[in-house]
A and B are shown apart, each in its own frame.
Chain A
Amino acid sequence: EAGVTQSPTHLIKTRGQQATLRCSPISGHTSVYWYQQALGLGLQFLLWYDEGEERNRGNFPPRFSGRQFPNYSSELNVNALELEDSALYLCASSLTGYGTEAFFGQGTRLTVV
């Protein structure tokens, strides 16, 4: 069974541009989470989607947004990129959003230059 897949693996963007990161959850999972892991910092919660709706978002500016599609895959968009947005972005999925085990993908390394 395929795990959580993220694309692209690496992404290099220029300051001010937009980045789009994609995540495909494990088959049957309806919840998708996004986390940011900046160098030297811990994992910071970004967004949680469940059944196509945004259920919760972390303490990030509105230029971080996303959506979940009917097939439960998800997209994270970061607008007006800043240098400090450079980080590993991790996506996780779970069977439901309510306490079931979370499984993570390998991440997208975003570098803003």
Chain B
Amino acid sequence: KQEVTQIPAALSVPEGENLVLNCSFTDSAIYNLQWFRQDPGKGLTSLLLIQSSQREQTSGRLNASLDKSSGRSTLYIAASQPGDSATYLCAALRLSGTYKYIFGTGTRLKVLA
């Protein structure tokens, strides 16, 4: 059974810091790994999708990497801003007939001005 863990659960940093969010999954047979952002009470915004054949994806100040062998993905945020404050979720799509995303419990990020 696929389990997805995110560490840390919460993080508070001063504006301008570079930071890394971690995501671990137990089943390496994943199809892809997707990172989302969720603002309080809102839906999810897709940030980056990494296919299983890829090792990383970049979008602006965001960079996500995927290491299937170790069961890890990291989301790197450069030069953090107060507007980055949100909960960040990773989700693993399993390589099987079920094709459902298993979500981590998220990292709640607060960037202080």
Instruction: Please give the residue numbers on chain A whose beta carbons come within 8 Å of chain B beta carbons, in ascending order.
Output: 4, 6, 33, 35, 42-43, 45, 48, 55-56, 58, 88, 90, 92, 97-99, 101-107, 109
Rounded to whole angstroms, the CA-CA distance of A12 and B105 in the bound complex is 26
Residue total for B at the interface (Cβ-Cβ under 8 A): 25
B residues apposed to A, CB below 8 Å = 31-32, 34, 36, 41-46, 49, 51, 89, 91, 93, 97-106
Q: Are A45 and B102 in contact (CB-based, < 8 A)?
A: yes
Pairwise interchain contact A102-B101, C-beta atoms closer than 8 A: yes
Q: What does DSSP make chain A's interface, helix, strand, loop or mixed?
A: strand
- The binding surface of chain B is classed by DSSP as strand
CB distance from B12 to the nearest CB of A (A): 20
Sampled A-B contacts (13; CB under 8 Å): A42-B104, A43-B89, A43-B91, A43-B101, A43-B103, A48-B100, A55-B99, A56-B97, A56-B100, A92-B44, A102-B34, A103-B46, A104-B43
Closest partner residue, chain B, to A92 (CB atom): B44
The residue in chain B whose Cβ has the minimal distance to the Cβ of A6 is B43
